[in-house]
Amino acid sequence: MPPSGGHSRVGGNPGIIIINAEGTKQTFSLQSKNLLLTAQSRGRLQILRMSNNIKAGLYIHIPFCLSKCAYCSFYSIKSSKLIPDYLAALHKEIKFYSKSFNSFDTIYIGGGTPSLLSCDQLASIFSAIHKTYKITTDAEITLEANPGDISQDFLKTLRSMGINRLNIGIQSFDDKLLKFLGRRHSSREAIAAIDQARQAGFDNLGIDLIYGVHGNGIKSWKNTLLKAVRFLPEHISCYQLSLDTKTPLYKTYKHSGFSLPDEKIQAKFFMTTSEFLEDEGYIHYEVSNFARNKHLQSRHNMKYWRHVPYLGLGPGAHSFLDQKRWWNKSSVRNYLKEIGAGKMPLENYEQLSLAQLQLEALFLGLRTKAGIDLRFYQQKYGMDLLAEKRPIIEILRENKLVKLELGFLVPTRKGLAVADSLALI
């Protein structure tokens, strides 16, 4: 699952000017050759002009769930009553950016639980998108699905809408573990969902798995991986469990005296996962992500990791353009209120400094198998990494954490296991 915001950007003397109900202006600049946003005095947002040839990614957050998973910290609510109002507001937010973005080559519908929506509701979203933007003919269009929500007829309808990539939140094939995590599907439903997806014609199928859960040792995790590869999914995401203090699972761990694996065990989980899946023919192309070949890597998520523009719509969704990042309010009701008043539902924004962009590019680049293109990095961020960081890079090389390969600074498997630390060079 991409950031809920996991979720964008654009000329002349651009800036977003939001006029609140009292007529007070709030402005932040989007210094780019591609965007000018403003608002009428009555508070309705109006986008004046834009020209942008860069293909951005579009993320849409569906913030509804029938129940909250015990570990999940993504914004969502346990109700479906507001879905009609939310979709009406979402259609308006889509139009807000009609002059600032003109083309997308990836769309990712995440949540929450997008598969809670009916086919007609999903079709209305895609209709609004296609009426407003150009979607390239080769676009990667992904929808996240819960195994317990889908049927073959539902999946066939998704394919007919143009959705060509399905990401199923399996998490585990162990019913006890699924119950502990607060998932509402069973292992049988997980397997059925994979089979139904294949029968519906999905040939780009991704599954999510979680490791490092209490009671789930290395042996049982390997059994999970064995079961997963038997279905030959094109993409597998393997996430180590993390505990947000606001989640029910954190409270369970705290009250029961459970603990997450220590660093040594975490490293063993990571190395076991990487070695096993690469032996099965998968490319370990990002810390948590594996693909059967380079063409099946998540093109949408690659935008996040490469500082490529992306537009995020819906509560809590993030957007990025050039040196700016902004995000929406994480509340359905506040989102509806702002959209209803003709305003962008912005929570906040940040203007990234060159130093911040350099660090982010290091952090994100060293989380990928491709690593960092040193010439491109110098051209884009104004730093010769080899010249300015040679002593520490040499130490990392001696410790077999990184290597230099055809002009790229590339993390080794050992380096990927501690990727977050590598960026601190």
Q: What is the CATH number of the domain that holds 127?
A: 3.20.20.70
Q: What value does the mean pLDDT take over residues 311-323? A: 93
74 within domain boundaries: yes
Percent of the chain with pLDDT over 90: 76
Q: 208 - beta bridge partners?
A: 237
265 DSSP 8-state letter: H
Q: pLDDT tens-digit profile of 202-251? A: 999 999 999 999 988 999 999 999 999 999 999 999 999 999 898 989 89
Domain identity same for 249 and 317: yes
32 DSSP 8-state letter: S
Number of domains present in the structure of the chain? 2
Band of pLDDT at residue 53, cut at 50, 70 and 90: low
Say what the pLDDT of residue 262 is.
92
pLDDT at 36 over 70: no
Domain identity same for 173 and 130: yes
DSSP code string of 320-342: EETTEEEEE-S-HHHHHHHHHTT
Cα(358)–Cα(160) distance, integer angstroms: 42
Domain final residue pick, 295, 324, 351: 351
275 within domain boundaries: yes
207: left (phi over 0), alpha (psi -120 to 50) or beta: beta
Range of the structural domain that residue 298 is part of:
48-351
Helices 263-279 and 218-230: crossing angle in degrees, nearest 10, is 20
Cα(417)–Cα(288) distance, integer angstroms: 10
Specify the higher pLDDT residue, 206 or 255.
206
29 within domain boundaries: no
Domain identity same for 374 and 343: no
Band of pLDDT at residue 423, cut at 50, 70 and 90: low
Q: pLDDT tens-digit profile of 137-151? A: 999 999 999 999 999
Domain identity same for 303 and 206: yes
Domain identity same for 182 and 82: yes
Domain identity same for 180 and 302: yes
361 within domain boundaries: no
Q: What value does the mean pLDDT take over residues 339-368? A: 94
33 within domain boundaries: no
Asked if residues 285 and 292 have their Cβ atoms less than 8 Å apart, the reply is no
Cα(416)–Cα(153) distance, integer angstroms: 40
Long-range contacts of 37-44 (CB under 8 A, 24+ apart): 37/100, 39/342, 39/343, 42/342, 43/19, 43/341, 43/342, 43/343, 44/342
Q: 50 - beta bridge partners?
A: 35
What is the model's pTM?
0.87
Domain identity same for 309 and 385: no
Domain identity same for 136 and 284: yes
3-state secondary structure of 312: strand
Say what the pLDDT of residue 67 is.
84
Asked if residues 172 and 178 have their Cβ atoms less than 8 Å apart, the reply is yes
Specify the higher pLDDT residue, 365 or 421.
365
Long-range contacts of 159-162 (CB under 8 A, 24+ apart): 159/200, 159/201, 159/202, 161/119, 161/122, 161/123, 161/126, 162/126
Band of pLDDT at residue 26, cut at 50, 70 and 90: very low
23 within domain boundaries: no
Say what the pLDDT of residue 259 is.
92
39 within domain boundaries: no
Q: Is the peptide bond before 112 cis (omega within 30 degrees of 0)?
A: yes
Band of pLDDT at residue 39, cut at 50, 70 and 90: very low
Q: Which of 122, 4, 7, 99 is nearest to 58 (CA)?
A: 7
DSSP code string of 144-164: EE-GGG--HHHHHHHHHHT--
Domain identity same for 137 and 52: yes
Q: 394 - beta bridge partners?
A: none
Domain identity same for 409 and 282: no
Output the CA torsion sign for 339, 340, 343, 345: negative
Q: What value does the mean pLDDT take over residues 242-267? A: 91
Domain identity same for 338 and 418: no
Q: pLDDT tens-digit profile of 378-410? A: 999 999 999 999 999 999 999 999 999 999 999
Report residue 215: phi and psi, to 5°. Answer: 90, 0
Cα(420)–Cα(383) distance, integer angstroms: 20
Cα separation values, 3 from 73, 75, 132, 184, Å: 10, 10, 24, 22
Domain identity same for 260 and 315: yes
20 within domain boundaries: no
pLDDT at 74 over 90: no
